[in-house]
Structure 1
Amino acid sequence: MSSISSEEELQGFYDSKPDAHLAQPPTLHQQHNVDSDCTQTKGLPPEIWSMIFSILEYEFRGATQSCLRWYAVTHVCRAWRNITLNDPLLWTDFVDPPPKAARELFTRSKDAPLILRLGSYPHHTDDTSFFCDYAVEHPERIRRLEIRRNGPFVNLLTKPAPLLESLLTTFDVEFPPDFLGGAAPQLKSVTCHGSLPLEASWLTNLTSLQCMKVYLEAPWLSNLTSLKFSSGWTDLGVGRLHVDMETILTALENMPLLQHLVLFPPYGVDTTPCKRSTPVHLRHLRNITVHFNFMVAMVTLFKHLRVDGIEKLEASWLSSSFVDPAVIETLCQFFATYYQGGDLYSWRQDGDLLALHRSFAEGNTPALTFRGYGPKSFAPFKTLLPRNMPRLLTVRLTAGSWRLRYPECDAIQELRIVSGYSSPVALKLPEIGVRASPPYPSLRRLHLELLSFEPKAKRIPLLRRWIARRHSKVELILQNCGLTAQDIEPLREVAHVVTM
């Protein structure tokens, strides 16, 4: 194995000698496995190793030639090889396996539930086409099914699939009336880049849907808890060339269990005003993402929708030129009405992204987000979201010009200025007039991360003057800013300096 220098060579090696490295591994690797020293790991039980190997297999899943990298652990030592060969769950997901080795790998899965990708091979051969044949004859073993192209095998999938949990199609697949025998009781998630039928008993228990084409009056939509309309989606209802907001609201009204909604503008939009007298009440809806793009009329949704409590609201536009202040006002009013969580005190400004968090922690999900919208003033939010004034503001710098955001906001107690790149970005602070009030009058902590102070003779004195205008010392945190102790000394006169 050490002579194999690249994944391409490894692919060729496996394809040329499938029997040698799979069907007859002892003849090729016996001496290597005997000589390998695994004494350092013999104390771990096989169950732990199976868990470790399953994590490794999952990490490589979906990557180019992932199988080749994953199989490498089977040739480290005999103990590892025996563990992997005795655990069929490690051999149930096939991501472009070497064609000549596919049957042997499939055999190792034994009776475990399978993840199959049908139609993913550009050229069907006897070494790979058996996946389709097996799926047709044994759908009871399929846990996840991905259909990568429309082929004759789709019309042959007419037997029930009792274990099927997830279905994905990447093309406009035409499902036959008796698809899966009309029975897939565990099918909960469907991602469909084509269309789904109006009547389909195999979709009865569906709870999560991402789609391009859909019948909004389909009865099987009633159990959905998660719905994502892909960009440019279409309603397949009879006689509908355009979708109006009334139709969308009526469809949502028939999804009483909905918790998560992602909405793009449909392919054709009817901007006729909605005349509903009562709002659609979705008691469980907690998470809403709306991509307005350039369709301002979609804000009507928030004028005719009622929820019991919103946890996350995200709105996006193609650019700030498509943002109507009235839309922002409607979104903020909706959020202020139905948001029941704790106060939002952390705001992040990153170009045209404005995100509001309950707390500032790595990986924390924001409660309110505007993408493609970089407000120049904080004043409107002070009126629209009076109880959510930011105490912490994070600004990510890019290589272009930068100016202070919302300097008039007296609620901000901590300001974080960080580089938007993996390398330092020049810190640029504006000069403050002698009689002018300092920005962020309540500031107590200034955190600077991965910033460049070059030329130091200019920028360090400017930072010192910028901080000195305050009545009390602030805490200044310098993280990866490339400053020496001599550089920092003048700053200690006006701030409590912490270096990281």
Structure 2
Amino acid sequence: MVYIGLASPSPSQANSREYQQQVIDAEIKSLEGSIRALKLRRNALTPISSLPTEVITTIFSFLLPVAPSPFTILGERPDHLSWLRVAHVCHHWREIALNQPLFWSHVDFTVLTSAGAAGVLALAKAVPLYLEARVSIGRWDDARFSAFQKELQARVSHICHLAISADHFHLRKTLEELHSPAPTLEYFLLSNDGTIPSRVFVPDTLFDGTTPRLSHLELQKCDISWKSPLLKGLKYLEIHIPSRDARPSLSDWLDALDEMPQLKMLDLHSASPIAPPGALFPSGVERTVTLASLEHLNISGSARDCGLALAHLLLPALTRLYFTTTSFSLDGSDVQEVLPYVARHAHGPQDAQPLQSVFVRNDRRCADMLAWTQPNIDVKSYNLVTFFEAMVFARVAFSVTNEDWAPETHAEIFEAAMTALPIDSLVTLTSQVCTSSPHTQSWLRQAPRWPLLQRVHLATHAARGFTDMVLEDSGVRECPLLPSLTNLVLVDIALSARRTLRLCDALMKRVEQGVPLETLDLRTCFATSRTIELLEEIVVDVLGPEKTVQEWAQIRVIWDSVARDLFVEDDLDSSGPFGEEEDYDEDDPDTGNDHETWDNWNSDGYDEGETDYW
């Protein structure tokens, strides 16, 4: 057997190969240098390279994120380094970027290493700085925190924007070291993100009490004295959930507001003065403060605390009022006591238009109302996301919470709020009230105030009260209720035979009164083709459901099949997607359930022998 192998290179041969590789590498580097030089010369000949550096710098500046706004929506945090893409285009642009300190003024210590933050700050030199930091437990060691503190202390004199979120320990340590004046500071945010219920107090000596340009102050779970020099001359003030001991007395609070004549936005969450037990409204109001520039007021807390604050304010420029309160009275009397002060700030001479759109909704623990000065504002869904989106542009947002209220109390609060608010020019009403208590009398009391109401959106229980109101309306052609109403939208209602025929009776009465409906929108409802035929005989334009009864029946078969596969029989929810119980209960002796109704209602119409309509 013969073995053939490669001989190992001799030391001289290995050295020779290594030398040859070094020569080639050197030649490659030389060629790369030549290529770079040629590229630079070529790029210099492009038309854009003929622009002066100052012009290119100005163009680059449009890529910088705008200064933070007090109305910035959650989740819209800007990326302050996204503009750096232009520095990767060519050598000339990179040199411009590196030599413009303003481009490096935004530093987020959360995403940069200590060395990276130091490098960026070195490029920023002495321009006004926008600094942010979220000090996370477990991610920041002592060395990183110390480096952050040193950078902060060294640059206090030219910080314009400072936002710090940390646990109470690191937040206290940071504030203890900030002794120097902050002559350029305009925006200051402190957030206590610790899980331990320990408070952070903002000392009066912070920044040596010298912040002449500070206009926006936001404190989250931090305490501050309302005599602090930081509170003087502010335009935007937000204080979220301080400790009870840090809540101001009424006199200190009013004195502090007197020192903020340019205040445009005031956001207080459980941070206003505490109403003393037994305080009476309005006899207890001896002093008021006028905030002539305030446009946006967001206040939350107990009903009496919020009422105390509103009772002592005059707000001639207010265009947004967000009132979120907790009731501690089973009958809602504490809320009704302060409603006149909510109404006083809900509309005024500063508003170009009256309140024209209203949305009301409730669940087991909360009752909400929104009002706009624009007509035809539709809120088609009442989940939290769409509710907060709609609230952003509302003139008035009223929300009250009490987990122990009975449905009747919800109804009384809504009627009291509707009565108090100046909504005589109402054009659009959306009601998604989820309670079985009747609203007929409330409709009858409120409807005479709404001669301009044109469009109504109603969910199941609100629709019942509306229908009963129309049937009980004693007005004839000369004075019917809601004379301008032309558009009715029913939302997520199963139009059984009884409901359909009762709705037909109500719509026919509108015809007899000379105020017929022009449009009936049933696109989200559940109805048969016969239902649509009956309604089309009364209303000119009926927008039918997106799915027919037959299509829903097919879906129900699939639902039942899947449910039987997943659950034992005793666990099945008999309501399913179509098992909504009829909202007309034992108060109506002719009431059955919807299961009976649908069994007697086929695709071609209703059983002629059925006399139990509703």
TM score, norm. by length of structure 1: 0.64
Q: Which residue, 212, 223, 238 being the options, matches 1:185?
A: 212
- Match of 1:469, SS state, is helix
Alignment of 1:121-200 (within 5 A): 121=136, 122-124=139-141, 129-147=146-164, 148=166, 149-150=170-171, 152=173, 154-171=175-192, 179-180=206-207, 182-193=209-220
Alignment of 1:361-376 (within 5 A): 365-372=393-400, 374-376=410-412
Residue 475 (1) aligns with residue 518 (2): yes
- Structure 2 equivalent of residue 437 of structure 1: 473
Alignment of 1:42-441 (within 5 A): 51=62, 54=65, 70=82, 82=94, 91=104, 92-94=106-108, 96-99=110-113, 101-103=116-118, 106=121, 109=124, 112-118=127-133, 120-121=135-136, 122-124=139-141, 129-147=146-164, 148=166, 149-150=170-171, 152=173, 154-171=175-192, 179-180=206-207, 182-193=209-220, 212-218=222-228, 221-234=231-244, 245-253=250-258, 255-263=260-268, 264=270, 270-271=276-277, 273=279, 278-282=286-290, 284=292, 285=294, 287-293=296-302, 296=304, 299-306=307-314, 308=316, 310-319=318-327, 321=330, 322-324=332-334, 326-328=336-338, 330-331=340-341, 334-335=344-345, 341=351, 342-351=353-362, 352-360=367-375, 365-372=393-400, 374-376=410-412, 384=420, 388=424, 390-396=426-432, 406-408=442-444, 409-410=447-448, 411=450, 413-417=453-457, 429=464, 432=468, 436-437=472-473, 441=482
**Aligned partner of 1:187: which letter?**
L
Gapped regions of structure 1 (runs ≥ 5): 1-25, 31-41, 195-211, 237-241, 420-424
Whole-angstrom CA distance in 2 between matches of 1:128 and 1:233: 27
Change (3 A) 1:96 1:371: same
Cα contact 1:302–1:331 (8 A) shared by 2: yes
Change (3 A) 1:133 1:328: closer
Change (3 A) 1:125 1:75: farther
Cα distance per residue 1:206-245 (max 9 Å; x no partner): xxxxxx5333344664534444443355566xxxxx8654
**Aligned partner of 2:188: which letter?**
L
Offset of residue 104 of structure 1: 5.1
Change (3 A) 1:443 1:493: farther
Q: How many percent of aligned residue pairs carry the same amino acid?
A: 17
Task: Look at both structures and tell me which one has the larger radius of gyration over its CA atoms.
Answer: 2
Cα distance per residue 1:432-489 (max 9 Å; x no partner): 499633996435233537x445567776666544433312332326385378996755
- Match of 2:443, SS state, is coil
Cα contact 1:214–1:235 (8 A) shared by 2: no
Cα distance per residue 1:94-145 (max 9 Å; x no partner): 1621537545555565655332235725423767754432222222342212
**Deviating more after overlay: 74-83 vs 261-270:** 74-83
**Aligned partner of 2:341: which letter?**
L
**Aligned partner of 1:213: which letter?**
D
Give the count of matched residue pairs: 433
- Match of 1:356, SS state, is strand
- Match of 2:324, SS state, is strand
Offset of residue 187 of structure 1: 1.9
Whole-angstrom CA distance in 1 between matches of 2:204 and 2:188: 17
Offset of residue 165 of structure 1: 1.3
- Match of 1:133, SS state, is helix
Offset of residue 394 of structure 1: 1.4
- Structure 1 equivalent of residue 549 of structure 2: none
Point out the structure with the larger strand share.
1
Whole-angstrom CA distance in 1 between matches of 2:119 and 2:519: 62
Offset of residue 157 of structure 1: 3.4
Whole-angstrom CA distance in 2 between matches of 1:154 and 1:433: 62
Cα contact 1:245–1:270 (8 A) shared by 2: no
RMSD (Å) for aligned C-alpha atoms: 5.4
Whole-angstrom CA distance in 2 between matches of 1:331 and 1:86: 56
Whole-angstrom CA distance in 2 between matches of 1:345 and 1:61: 26
Whole-angstrom CA distance in 1 between matches of 2:63 and 2:88: 14
**Deviating more after overlay: 82-91 vs 406-415:** 82-91
Offset of residue 337 of structure 1: 9.6
Cα contact 2:218–2:239 (8 A) shared by 1: no
Change (3 A) 1:85 1:394: farther
Whole-angstrom CA distance in 1 between matches of 2:173 and 2:469: 75
Change (3 A) 1:493 1:177: closer
Change (3 A) 1:129 1:250: closer
Whole-angstrom CA distance in 2 between matches of 1:361 and 1:396: 16
**Aligned partner of 1:343: which letter?**
P
Residue 494 (1) aligns with residue 494 (2): no
Whole-angstrom CA distance in 2 between matches of 1:115 and 1:397: 46
- Match of 1:135, SS state, is helix
Cα distance per residue 1:125-180 (max 9 Å; x no partner): 76775443222222234221233333655444344433221122224556677643
